[in-house]
Structure 1
Amino acid sequence: MTWLAIIFALTALLYASVGFGGGSTYSALLALAGVDFRLLPIISLLCNIVVVSGSSLRFARSGLTPWRGAITLTAIAAPAAFLGGLTPVKEATFLALLGASLVLTGLTLLIPATATREGEPTPMARWMPFISAPIGYLAGLVGIGGGIFLAPLLHLVRWNNARAIAATAAFFILVNSVFGLAGQLIKNGPGLIGAAAAFGLPLLIAVVIGGQIGSLLAVRFLPQNAIRWLTAALTIWVGARLLLG
């Protein structure tokens, strides 16, 4: 458990430093550790909520969250995340989806935020609310927040400036994680809640510590691009391990 908590703290540090929660990587690490796959999304979503709650609050207090757009995207995605959490899935299918989402997550991290050009949003920007629905469903199904998929798309269509997109992604992850967790708990029944809480408590403490360090200090020691590359490398490696067995 000690080594797992250390890796969780490192994962939270890396993801928080680039504005995300890290839910898919938490699930993959638990899977590689041999934890019951039904517990994976529950523990991972709890960790997600812990990591992004602080950043969401800081963005809101700073007036950076574009509430109208963020609420529109999230209001469409959150019910889909709940349905994803409710959807029964076999272990092999769950792990395959998780591994594929991790590899895709790592690839999205390699898209530089500087690719966003200033100017008017592209015509595709108006379709982002509809695209947020399948992202929300996948989020609930495999225990992630989905913001890591949404943010690069928002950058590419010039939906808003970089800081507003980061604030939107944090809010998106937080709400989707809550809705996805609700679906997972209803699907699996109350019996797993105690098991998830007992096993996951040290990991939650670890991500609190790692997430705070990541959001407050990490960017002072490493360039932002270096952090993104490290996070992408970790994510792709863990995802490949799952897919290759």
Structure 2
Amino acid sequence: MPLLIAAFFITALLYASVGFGGGSTYNALLALSGVDYRILPLLALSCNIIVVAGSTLRFARAGITPWRGALFMTALAAPAALLGGLTPIGEGAFLAILGASLVLTAMTMLLPVSEGEGEARRWARFIPLGAAPLGYLAGLVGIGGGIFLAPLLHLARWREARAIAATASFFILVNSLFGLAGQVLKGGEGRFLAAFDIGLPLLVAVAIGGQIGSLLALKFMPQRWIRWGTAGLTLWVGLRLLFAM
């Protein structure tokens, strides 16, 4: 457990420093540790909520969040996240989807990030259509979905970088809340209590790591280095999970 707690702390620090929650990596770390796959989304989504809640609040207080676009995309995704949380899934399918999503996550983190708004791409108007599938994935396997949404918004030059980070944080927070609600309804009180019993020290670790990551990491390391390090960690865990199946 001490190694797992340390891994969760580092994951939260890295992901929070680039505006994400880390749900996919929490899931994979738990799966590789032999934790029952049925409680993984409960723990990962709870960790997501803790990590992104602080950054979402800070973005809102600073007036950075583009609420009209953020609310529209999240409104499409949240009901799908609830449905994903309610959907039964076998262990093999769960681990395959999780491993593939980790590899895709690593690839999205290596995509270039635009530093200004620039001219919006013509296909940017179609990006909200992807919000519902991302929400469903969030609820199904415990991934907030923002880490896939943000690169699309950057490539489309939808807004400037901080506004996109604020949108991704809010997207992850709401999807995680709805996905967690679906998981609790599906699994019942017993599974929720089992997840809480295992996860309490992990939740404390991500709370501390997330705060340090969002407040301090960017002051000491270039954001590009942090993104590359996070992508490398995510890719390694995803490939290990897929090869272990």
User: After TM superposition, is the score higher than 0.5?
Assistant: yes
Q: Deviations over 1:22-77 (max 9, x none)?
A: 00000000000000001100000000000000000000000000000000000000
Mapped partners of 2:86, 2:117: distance in 1:
40
In structure 2, the partner of 1:183 is 182
Q: Deviations over 1:72-93 (max 9, x none)?
A: 0000001111111111100010
| Runs of 4+ residues deviating >2 angstroms | 116-120
What one-letter code is carried by the residue in structure 2 that aligns with 1:138? L
1:35 aligned counterpart, secondary structure: coil
Mapped partners of 1:86, 1:156: distance in 2:
32
Contact (CA 8 Å) 2:116, 2:161: kept in 1 or not?
Answer: no
In structure 1, the partner of 2:132 is 133
What are the equivalent positions in structure 2 for 1:27-176 lying under 5 Å apart? 27-114=27-114, 118-176=117-175
With 183-192 and 97-106 compared, the bigger mean Cα shift is at 183-192
Q: CA deviation at 1:112?
A: 2.0
Q: CA deviation at 1:118?
A: 3.6
With 118-127 and 230-239 compared, the bigger mean Cα shift is at 118-127
Q: CA deviation at 1:119?
A: 2.4
1:190 aligned counterpart, secondary structure: helix
Mapped partners of 1:55, 1:101: distance in 2:
23
Size of the alignment, in residue pairs? 244
What one-letter code is carried by the residue in structure 2 that aligns with 1:18? V
Long gaps (5+) in structure 1: none
What one-letter code is carried by the residue in structure 1 that aligns with 2:109? L
Mapped partners of 2:154, 2:50: distance in 1:
25
What one-letter code is carried by the residue in structure 2 that aligns with 1:173? I
2:38 aligned counterpart, secondary structure: coil
With 165-174 and 122-131 compared, the bigger mean Cα shift is at 122-131
Q: Deviations over 1:210-243 (max 9, x none)?
A: 0011001111221111100000000000000111
